[in-house]
A and B are shown apart, each in its own frame.
Chain A
Amino acid sequence: MERTEAGDAVILRTEAVSRRFGNFVAVRRVTAEFRRRALTSIIGPNGAGKTTYFNLLSGALRPSQGRIILERRDITGTPQQRLVRLGIARSYQITSLFPQLSALENVRVALQALTRSRYNFWTPRARLAGLAERAAELLELTGLYHRRHRPAAALAHGEQRALEIAVALAGAPRLLLLDEPTAGMSPEETREMMRLIVGLAERHTVILVEHKMKLVMGISARVMVLHHGELVAEGTPEEIRRDRLVRRVYLGQREH
Chain B
Amino acid sequence: MDLIGATAVARGWRLWEPIARHRALAVMLFIAVLPWVTPYQALATNILIYGLFAAGFNLLYGYLGLLSFGHAALFGGGAYACGIAIVRFGLPWYAGLALGTLGGMAISLLIGALATRTRGIYFAMITLAFAQSLYYLAYQAQGWTGGENGLRGVNVRRVELFFLPLDFTDPVARYWLMAALVGLALLALSRILNSPLGAVIEAVRENEARARACGYDVAATRLMTFVLSGGFAGLAGALQALELSTVSIETLDYATSGLVVMMTLLGGAGTFFGPFVGAAVFALIQDVFSLWTVHWQLLAGAIFMLFVLFLPRGIWGYLLEWSEQRQATQSS
A binds B: yes
Q: A residues bordering B, Cβ < 8 Å?
A: 80-81, 84-85, 96-102, 104-105, 108-110, 112-115, 117-126, 128, 132-133, 136, 148-151, 167
Shortest distance between the CB of B91 and any CB in chain A (Å): 27
A118 to B203, CA, bound (A): 12
> Are B6 and A105 in contact, CB atoms less than 8 angstroms apart?
yes
Q: Does B216 contact A (CB under 8 A)?
A: yes
A181 to B202, CA, bound (A): 27
> Are A99 and B4 in contact, CB atoms less than 8 angstroms apart?
no
Taking CB atoms, residues of chain A closer than 8 Å to B285 are: none
Given known A98-B206, A149-B10, contact A109–B4 (CB-CB < 8 A): no
> Are A84 and B6 in contact, CB atoms less than 8 angstroms apart?
no
Taking CB atoms, residues of chain A closer than 8 Å to B6 are: 102, 104-105, 132, 148-149
Taking CB atoms, residues of chain A closer than 8 Å to B200 are: 109, 112, 118-119
> Are B195 and A105 in contact, CB atoms less than 8 angstroms apart?
no
Given known A105-B6, A126-B4, A132-B4, contact A99–B207 (CB-CB < 8 A): yes
Shortest distance between the CB of A246 and any CB in chain B (Å): 34
Taking CB atoms, residues of chain B closer than 8 Å to A132 are: 3-4, 6-7
A123 to B192, CA, bound (A): 8
Taking CB atoms, residues of chain B closer than 8 Å to A96 are: 207, 209-210, 213
Shortest distance between the CB of B14 and any CB in chain A (Å): 9
Q: Does B199 contact A (CB under 8 A)?
A: yes
Taking CB atoms, residues of chain A closer than 8 Å to B198 are: 121, 125
Shortest distance between the CB of B249 and any CB in chain A (Å): 33
> Are A121 and B224 in contact, CB atoms less than 8 angstroms apart?
yes
Taking CB atoms, residues of chain A closer than 8 Å to B203 are: 98, 101, 109
B181-231 residues with Cβ-Cβ distance < 8 A to A are 191-192, 194-200, 202-203, 206-207, 209-216, 220-221, 224, 228
> Are A104 and B3 in contact, CB atoms less than 8 angstroms apart?
yes
Describe B's contact surface by its main secondary structure. helix
> Are B199 and A108 in contact, CB atoms less than 8 angstroms apart?
yes
Can you pick out 10 interface pairs between chain A and chain B where the beta carbons lie within 8 Å of each other?
A96-B207, A97-B207, A99-B206, A100-B206, A101-B203, A118-B216, A119-B221, A120-B195, A121-B191, A149-B6
> Are B3 and A109 in contact, CB atoms less than 8 angstroms apart?
no
Given known A114-B215, A126-B4, contact A101–B197 (CB-CB < 8 A): no
Residue of B nearest to A123 (CB): B195
Residue of A nearest to B228 (CB): A121
Shortest distance between the CB of A32 and any CB in chain B (Å): 26
Residue from the set A110, A121, A124 with the largest chain B CB neighbour count within 10 Å: A121
> A101's contact among B202, B212, B215, by CB below 8 Å, is which?
B202
Taking CB atoms, residues of chain B closer than 8 Å to A126 are: 4, 7, 194
Residue from the set B191, B214, B228 with the largest chain A CB neighbour count within 10 Å: B214
Taking CB atoms, residues of chain B closer than 8 Å to A80 are: 213
Q: Does B161 contact A (CB under 8 A)?
A: no
> Are A121 and B192 in contact, CB atoms less than 8 angstroms apart?
yes
A128 to B8, CA, bound (A): 14
Taking CB atoms, residues of chain A closer than 8 Å to B8 are: 105
Residue from the set B195, B196, B200, B221 with the largest chain A CB neighbour count within 10 Å: B196
> Are A101 and B9 in contact, CB atoms less than 8 angstroms apart?
yes
> Are B215 and A81 in contact, CB atoms less than 8 angstroms apart?
yes
> Are B202 and A113 in contact, CB atoms less than 8 angstroms apart?
no
Shortest distance between the CB of B13 and any CB in chain A (Å): 9
A108 to B3, CA, bound (A): 11
Taking CB atoms, residues of chain B closer than 8 Å to A113 are: 214-216
